[in-house]
A and B are shown apart, each in its own frame.
Chain A
Amino acid sequence: MSAVPAALKVNHRPVDLEGVPADERLLDTLRWRLELRGTKEGCRSGGCGACTVLVDGRPTLSCLTLTRELDGREVTTIEGAPDHPAGRAVLEAFESEGAVQCGYCTPGFVMALTGFLGRTPRGHRSTERLLRELQGNLCRCTGYAAIARAVDRAGREAP
């Protein structure tokens, strides 16, 4: 970790982090400093998965990540998902399978699944495995049924 972070990129755009306190969480940086409130605040302690974003393509809980540790990294949020190759397929699968109810857990699920699909080549994406990877994301509305259908579809359709 560098003492004075120069910059990180959020959805491909450089963000100057000068003046960000050392204890600021990525979740708060995104939501209140960058006004990207598509990333949802749930439990703030890593239990619900609603705040999941990608850091260098890897699903990451933004509530447990300190912004100043991300010098030089690339962050992708739900607002950037349409520009991510796997992200677009995931968004389409969630919409067409009716996997969105209240929608509060949705950005976290979308980013977690996008991250896994982006790093897992076709042929290694059994639905069972993908579902196991999503056990850290909680949903209270859907009973996960439509989400599982969307996961299955996205696994087949994402590049």
Chain B
Amino acid sequence: MSGAGRADAPVKLRGAAVYGTDLSAEGMYWGALVPSPIAHGRIRSIDLAPARALPGVVAIGADEVAGLLPKGAAAETPIFPKEEVVYRGQPVAAVAAPTRALAREAARKVRVDLEPLEIWGSIDTLLPEWPGADPPRIGALNAHVHARHGDLEGAFRSADFVLAETYRTSGVHQVPIEPHACLARVDGELWTVETSTQTPFGCREDLASILGIPEPQLVVRGSWVGGAFGSKGSALLEPYALLLAKASGRPVKLQLSYPEEFRLGRSTLPSVIRIESAVRDRRVVGRRVRLVLDTGASLPGRDFTLGYSAGFLLGPYSIPAVEVEGYALRTHKPPFGPHRAPFVPQCTFAVESHTDHLAHRLGIDPVEFRRASVWTEGATTGLGQTVGPFGLDAALARAAEIVREWRATGPPGHGIGVAGGFWSTGTGAGGEARLRLTPTELEIEQGEREIGSGSVIRGIAVGVEQRLGLDAGAVRVAYLDTATAPFDSGVFGSRTVGALGQAAEKAADALRTELGRRCGVSGAAAEQIRLRPSPEGLVVDLGDRRRAVRELLTPEELARGGLRVEGRHYGRSGTIDERRVLEGSFHPFNDFVGAAHVAEVAVDPEIGSVEVVRYAAIHDAGRVVDPTTARAGIEGGVAMGIGTALLEETQWGADGRLENPSLLDYRLPTLAEVPPIQVEFIEGYPGAGPRGAKGLGEPPIVPVPAAIANAIFDALGVPVGELPMTSERVARALKRL
């Protein structure tokens, strides 16, 4: 059986699902943003008058903001810049008009006068000496992290050999097919926004801090989400739309065009990575890694990515002496944003390519080389964390079998590569869910929206259904706004099933206990309680007898829509050994989730083009909650990873201009680029999710660029070393042979 039970499919197939772009209201105005025409400049003047001269147009800039907000509202950061613009496309003003075309015209009419300032366009210009021995020039440092452990000098001094390599990665964009869109309105004290978001409560929190309006006066209502992949995890358009709604007295729709989406959506930016490994007696005894990450116009202290992803650069291996150092640099590009497994596919590309090159140099099978030092439960990471149940070794063992099979059946000349990868579920971010039992149905009332992966519509329902003995699809998921839903942290970090799903299961347990109390049973007998459908509605099955739910609810409950029971789950974050941290803040891993991927490629040695012909993904999933949904998520993650590996690249000019803000010039994988994907699961290494489940939203993309890089290395014998591995870069690598 495939796909059955996703209650959203019929709605979406009828064309009846209302996404952010579909939102509308009576008397609605359209908004448009006025972009800065240059990447860095001092504001001389911004003249809104020409826009305001058009019929019905409302225009706002930095000077209008305070007058629109409630008295006493204390905004943390300015919504429009007052003195300086720091990236091209940065909104400097906004307009609203009765039609979309007029709004665009009005935005163009605003006169923006800027004095150009020096532009930090590329991290290369900031790092003349990189990858030399000295740290990068730190004139524009957003964050610096540094940790070490063990006798690194000794390891390098006594090494049989040292392999030192540099890797480069490009910016990649999430490109959800639905661009950012929202609809805002202000009614008296209440500021309401309907929006395509993966974190309704996170959006409300952002709005409270950006606008300085207390949370009880803000309502965020999620629409259907046409893809997110990290890009819709914080407020982006909502503050502007709300201010325009206040200024115009109308509901205001704000939606990005694709070129704006490419420029303004928060995407991943370029990096340079240096890895040095000291090898003795066929093992890595010391490793030093350095990461320089372009974080664009992100503000200091706001970047989570560096302290998180840097830890991945050491790889999932036990190494006695390690040092990791990361620099997040500010440039005049849009702020860096999270893209599915933020920056970890890039880190994994570097360290897992490097691992293959070490095995090659040693003449050892690359999978066997990995298995000799890969973490298993109880191992200690370079940052001093103890590894929990972790199925990567088992996944690698299965990958080795697949490689043997493919070598025997594949045409000569094809390359086959393996990469291991790991991920850490969530951030300990918690959540709450509420069950509503009526005489005829059971519903989960909660605050997230289904973003496509199935983690909400199936992921949190499955556990409740199983707990209460109901058929798949019997429990409905209700989407409430932030004013009425119990709190949840958001659909991100592969945490939804692990945290919100666990909250829903706890609510199911509480419901069972409460129904048991009303039926006069407790303890083990209450745990046996099941709900059964019947022609007269739901009944409570107590084993030896049955009671209709209708009889068990009080008149008040019946009048208020049913019996409501809440569950909450706030997980614990992992801990690292702070003695190993010299500077900055590293983020601990929580659940350790492993995956081994196998790629087979055909490379055209003349033009360097790479075709992925076969692909296998073996995932440590703890316990698979819903096989169809899990498989679909892995297939999608691999396809996205193929894009990162071979096609996708935001091209930034030295002037901070994005040179390819369209699907013609930024290539996404099509049906032609994605081969059949063999998906397998490793169970038996339980995680912290419900009954051992582990997060699966992000792990599928993590090993993909590395697996494909290793397949290309296998085919050609020469590393490409840079993402994406376009035919041009592959051809250039071949010339180095």
Partner of A105, one of B177, B637, B662, B664: B177
Q: Does A106 contact B (CB under 8 A)?
A: yes
B653-688 at interface with A (beta carbon < 8 Å): 662-664, 668, 670-672, 674, 676-677
B24 proximity list for chain A (CB < 8 A) = 32, 37
CB atoms of B639 and A143 under 8 A apart: yes
| Majority DSSP secondary structure for residues of A touching B | loop
| Majority DSSP secondary structure for residues of B touching A | loop
Q: How far is the CA of A77 from the CA of B15 in the complex (A)?
A: 9
A145 proximity list for chain B (CB < 8 A) = 632, 635-636, 639, 674, 676-677
A45 proximity list for chain B (CB < 8 A) = 258, 662-664
B632 proximity list for chain A (CB < 8 A) = 98, 101, 141-142, 145-146
Q: Does A120 contact B (CB under 8 A)?
A: no
A131 vs chain B, min Cβ distance (A): 5
Q: How far is the CA of A81 from the CA of B452 in the complex (A)?
A: 22
With A103-B8, A146-B3 known as contacts, the answer to whether A135 contacts B663 (CB < 8 A) is: no
B662 proximity list for chain A (CB < 8 A) = 43, 45, 47
Nearest CB to that of B21 among chain A residues? A41
B650 vs chain A, min Cβ distance (A): 16
CB atoms of A101 and B19 under 8 A apart: no
B635 proximity list for chain A (CB < 8 A) = 142-146
A97 proximity list for chain B (CB < 8 A) = 2-3
CB atoms of B17 and A103 under 8 A apart: yes
CB atoms of A37 and B636 under 8 A apart: no
Partner of B9, one of A37, A100, A104: A100
Q: Does B226 contact A (CB under 8 A)?
A: yes
B671 vs chain A, min Cβ distance (A): 5
Q: Does B453 contact A (CB under 8 A)?
A: yes
Q: Does A48 contact B (CB under 8 A)?
A: yes
Partner of B12, one of A106, A144, A148: A106
CB atoms of A146 and B2 under 8 A apart: yes
A144 proximity list for chain B (CB < 8 A) = 635, 639, 670-671, 674
CB atoms of B3 and A95 under 8 A apart: yes
B252 vs chain A, min Cβ distance (A): 16
With A143-B636, A143-B677 known as contacts, the answer to whether A42 contacts B177 (CB < 8 A) is: yes
Contact-size category for A: 35 or more
CB atoms of B677 and A149 under 8 A apart: no
Scan A7-46; emit 1 where CB is below 8 A from any B CB, else 0. Answer: 0000000000000000000000001100011111111110
Nearest CB to that of A136 among chain B residues? B670
Q: Does A107 contact B (CB under 8 A)?
A: yes
Q: Does A117 contact B (CB under 8 A)?
A: no
Q: Does B14 contact A (CB under 8 A)?
A: yes
Scan B191-234; emit 1 where CB is below 8 A from any A CB, else 0. Answer: 00000000000000000000000000000000011111100000
A45-99 at interface with B (beta carbon < 8 Å): 45, 47-48, 50, 77-79, 81-82, 91, 94-99
A121 vs chain B, min Cβ distance (A): 22
CB atoms of A100 and B6 under 8 A apart: yes
B469 proximity list for chain A (CB < 8 A) = none
Nearest CB to that of B224 among chain A residues? A103
A50 proximity list for chain B (CB < 8 A) = 177
B723 vs chain A, min Cβ distance (A): 18
Most buried by B among A37, A47, A98, A131: A98
Q: How far is the CA of A44 from the CA of B10 in the complex (A)?
A: 26
Q: How far is the CA of A134 from the CA of B229 in the complex (A)?
A: 23
B636 proximity list for chain A (CB < 8 A) = 101, 140-143, 145
B8 proximity list for chain A (CB < 8 A) = 100, 103
CB-defined A-B contacts under 8 Å, sample of 28: A37-B24, A39-B15, A42-B179, A45-B662, A45-B663, A96-B2, A98-B2, A100-B12, A100-B13, A102-B177, A102-B178, A102-B226, A102-B228, A103-B224, A103-B226, A103-B452, A104-B176, A104-B226, A132-B671, A134-B671, A136-B670, A140-B175, A140-B640, A141-B452, A141-B636, A142-B632, A142-B636, A148-B671
